Structure 1
Amino acid sequence: MTFSSILSISGFLMVLIFMYLIMSKRLSAMVALITVPIIFGAILGFSPALGKMMMDGVKQVAPTGIMICFAILYFGIMIDTGMFDPLIKRILVFVKGDPVRIAIGTAVLAALVSLDGDGSTTYLVTTTAMLGVHRAVGMNPMILPAVTIVLNSVMNIIPWGGPTGRILAALKVESQDVFVPMIPAMALACIWVLFLAYRWGMQERKRLGIVDLDHAKLAAENHDPEVEALKRPDKFWINITLTVVLLVSLVIEVFPLAILFMIGTALALLINYPSLKQQGERIAANGANAMPVVALIFSAGIFMGIMAGTKMADAMAKSIIASIPASMGPHFSLITAVLSLPGTFFMTNDAFYFGVLPVLAKAAAAYGITAQEMGRAALIGQGSHLLSPLVASTYLLVGLNKVEFGDLQKYALLPAIGVSFIWLLYCLATGLIHF
């Protein structure tokens, strides 16, 4: 057995052990992300280089960690000011305590916010708006994060969302040849998520019934003089304008996301809490919510750093390619579609799309399969990608909802794979991918 094969097996085994440990609740996600790769790296003989590998990984996720830290601070400040209160009140009135309406409303809101192409923003806004509603009715705490992440998985393939951009760059193809033909498939997948929301909502309706939400009573129960003192109703439209400008700036990428949220947080504090004492209190209060999530993200950096530095990711890519028999050449696009599911789950998008996909596309070209078709095939696996332990923003979602990462995987993984299955069937039926 070659050392490359050992690295490949170790990489897959490392991810599987990590998933087992967190899903069985043997270890917390943060502890597992740090300790498991260190143990594997040491066993493989990389002890002297582990420090640099881990630091490289931490540096790689640093922009995401900084962005999420300041995003939590920003939206936390906006919650303090009461900016979301009118939206939450209207949602409460609309859903009328009906779990079905609440679940479907969550899906629709997640779809709309996902159009900005950033998962972190989707999780922050959707959870901020809907968590109180879900909790007031007593719904299963897994429904909100599950609906949100599966819907965001569908919307994540928009060209500015990340995966499609990587494919366009790796294969040197155009968006109209890869993304545009997938739009009907995205619509079908959105219908699937709405069905999931309806089904989960119906289960909760049978369990809870339609809860009679006494809004006046709820408001009285939740009344806290200290919380009320923080609200800034006179600054409502200023805060709305600031948030809209921030979200638009995120979409058109005026500055890097982390910088935009840093600027937004500074302005939010200046506008709403001008005194030094108030600013310190808001940073301390909302920073407590940010710390666990940011710690998870930097821990994920160690995991990814060791996987990349030991060349486990490269070896995993080579083993995937080597496992395809030459006789299967005419079916390379279908094979790529199937491989993209575990490929983008066990590996980062960068590793799969820049490491595996170009090699597969080059081999497929010998059989007359176009790069455009290979690009569409490579998108299929995105249905479950966001539930991978290698996706930093997912730790934000579980942190905001106060659920365990492993529990979310158990609840949402099969429904998310359903998205990929729908995409694959559509592509085969329409000839976007040839059998």
Structure 2
Amino acid sequence: MLSLLGFATIALFLLLIITKRLSVVTALVLVPLVMGLLAGFGPNELGEMMLAGIKQVAPTGILLMFAVLYFATMLDAGLFDPIIAGIIRYVKGDPLKVIVGTALLTMIVHLDGDGTATFMIVLSAFVPIYRQLNINKRILPGIVALSVGPLHLVPWSGTSARAISTLKTDATQLFNPNIPAMLAGVGWVLAVAYWFGLKERKRLGVTELTYVHHDNLTDSQRALRRPKLFWINAVLTIGLIVTLMKGWVPTPALFVVAAAVALVLNYPRLADQQAVLRGHGNNIFMVSSMIFAAGVFSGILTGSKMIEAMATSLVSLIPQQHAAWLPTLTAITSMPASLLFTPDAYYFGVVPILSSTATQFGIDPLEIGRAALLGQMTVGFPVSPLTASTFLLVGLAEVDLGDHQKFTLKWAFGATLVMTLVALLTGSIHL
């Protein structure tokens, strides 16, 4: 019963947001709440589950609120103007170069395995360019989402760290056999980016742009530019990113302080600070509200044991005579599983069940870990409503989550299928 309600919760949520019957925030709260009541839980029990989920995402919600404020302040101050102008001069208004360049830059930035930082950096640089060239607005978050997927297999990402911990192994045994599959995923993403680029070039043509950013600004935007503070802002931002990557300061605290410093440094006058906050308040509210609503969603699914029941049901569906297919089935279902399970629920709940089952059938349990990493919260995390950074991605790109999923899911699943095929061919997993 719990398993059925869990799957129904996910399916109904996706249906409602993709068909735009409900907003993401309302669907994240109301769908699991109704299902929780149907499961027989009382208001007090559901309230405790919701609160537990909100507490779990609170640090991430605070992080994203102030991260958006920080980068919004830097955008208003003009920190990214020279970068944007340089990219525009290089691509010469060619959508193909812009889209392939987006994929390459995203992969380079994501070598640190941090999705949140990658989204903030890449989106801050490319959103104005996509607007200037009138490129389909869904392509930017779609290509960025696809580009981080294969790179998220690196052993220092949070997802890989969970798999390594669960299987009590090391990066060499889990990651190295997957390197050919990861490279195949990179190739797939670049091919998709090239395909999108060709289509947009055909639709828009190649424009010889003489890009002067200030010519495209309103008077109020121009008044907020701080070109004399460019190097100070650049040093502050580089220091922020280095501190973020090194983990010297808890990330939420880091961005709270950085946002306050950036705001006061660039806009000492209260009126200017209020203008920045008013200008970006809607975006900040949308991102943070979705994070806390996602906490309600995952809190009820976890607290009601629906996720646990779903995991057990999935394992029980595998017939004993087809046990040899377990790693392959794990790989193929790994990306869609990102829509059903948080990384903690999957790697600490589902993977142990799958790996112990594999051991009983004489299959190396490490193959389950390698298979899971081909999609579950690697390729799948930037489209999952259970991942906080997904909301940052769509928020910065100003794209609806349902539109993002509808546009990106099939290409993300394609990446998992390509990587699965190469993993089978290279012996990372076996039939």
Q: Is the 8 A contact 2:332 2:417 kept in 1?
A: no
Are 2:363 and 1:338 aligned?
Answer: no
Map 1:399-414; keep pairs closer than 5 Å. 399-414=395-410
Corresponding residue for residue 4 of structure 2: 9
Distance 1:289 1:132 in 2: 16
Corresponding residue for residue 206 of structure 2: 210
Deviation at residue 378 of structure 1 after TM alignment: 1.4
Corresponding residue for residue 21 of structure 1: 16
Corresponding residue for residue 132 of structure 2: 136
Distance 1:265 1:116 in 2: 22
Corresponding residue for residue 3 of structure 1: none
Distance 2:175 2:258 in 1: 32
Q: Is the 8 A contact 2:18 2:406 kept in 1?
A: yes
Count matched residues.
Answer: 428
Q: Unaligned 5+ residue runs, structure 2?
A: none
Q: Is the 8 A contact 1:113 1:122 kept in 2?
A: yes
Deviation per CA, 1:312-353: give whole Å up to 9, x if none.
Answer: 001001101111222233343223223423333211111111
Q: Is the 8 A contact 2:307 2:345 kept in 1?
A: yes
Matched letter for residue 155 of structure 2: P
Q: Is the 8 A contact 1:107 1:194 kept in 2?
A: yes
Corresponding residue for residue 54 of structure 1: 50
Deviation per CA, 1:50-96: give whole Å up to 9, x if none.
Answer: 11111111111111111110100110111121110100000111111
Deviation at residue 29 of structure 1 after TM alignment: 0.9
**Which of 60, 67, 82 matches 1:64?**
60
Deviation per CA, 1:182-231: give whole Å up to 9, x if none.
Answer: 23322221121111111111111111111232324x642x1333323322
Q: Is the 8 A contact 1:120 1:393 kept in 2?
A: yes
Q: Is the 8 A contact 2:78 2:225 kept in 1?
A: yes
Q: Is the 8 A contact 2:332 2:416 kept in 1?
A: no
**Which of 231, 234, 249 matches 1:255?**
249
**Which of 206, 222, 226 matches 1:228?**
222
Matched letter for residue 410 of structure 1: K
Of 394-403 and 327-336, more deviation after overlay is shown by 327-336
The structure 1 segments of at least 4 consecutive aligned residues displaced by more than 6 Å after TM superposition are: none
Alpha-carbon RMSD:
1.7
Matched letter for residue 361 of structure 1: S
Deviation at residue 113 of structure 1 after TM alignment: 1.9
Distance 1:25 1:432 in 2: 40
Map 1:136-285; keep pairs closer than 5 Å. 136-216=132-212, 219-220=214-215, 222-285=216-279
Distance 1:63 1:223 in 2: 35
**Which of 315, 325, 330 matches 1:321?**
315
**Which of 111, 120, 124 matches 1:124?**
120
Corresponding residue for residue 415 of structure 1: 411
Corresponding residue for residue 40 of structure 2: 45
Of 257-266 and 36-45, more deviation after overlay is shown by 257-266
Deviation per CA, 1:268-325: give whole Å up to 9, x if none.
Answer: 2343233444444434433332111111111111111111111100100110111122
Matched letter for residue 290 of structure 1: I
Deviation at residue 434 of structure 1 after TM alignment: 1.1
Matched letter for residue 234 of structure 2: I
Distance 1:252 1:180 in 2: 24
Matched letter for residue 385 of structure 2: P
Q: What is the TM-score when the length of structure 2 is the normalising length?
A: 0.95
Matched letter for residue 356 of structure 2: K
Distance 1:287 1:118 in 2: 25
Deviation per CA, 1:357-414: give whole Å up to 9, x if none.
Answer: 1121122223333333222111122323431222221112112222211111111111
SS of equivalent residue, structure 1 residue 215 = coil
Of 245-254 and 364-373, more deviation after overlay is shown by 364-373
Q: Is the 8 A contact 1:116 1:247 kept in 2?
A: no
**Which of 344, 350, 353 matches 2:344?**
350
Matched letter for residue 190 of structure 1: V
Of 233-242 and 166-175, more deviation after overlay is shown by 233-242
Q: Unaligned 5+ residue runs, structure 1?
A: 1-5
Distance 2:214 2:274 in 1: 28
Distance 1:163 1:345 in 2: 15
Distance 1:151 1:169 in 2: 25
Distance 1:50 1:356 in 2: 24
Are 2:354 and 1:395 aligned?
Answer: no
Identity %: 43
Deviation at residue 165 of structure 1 after TM alignment: 0.7
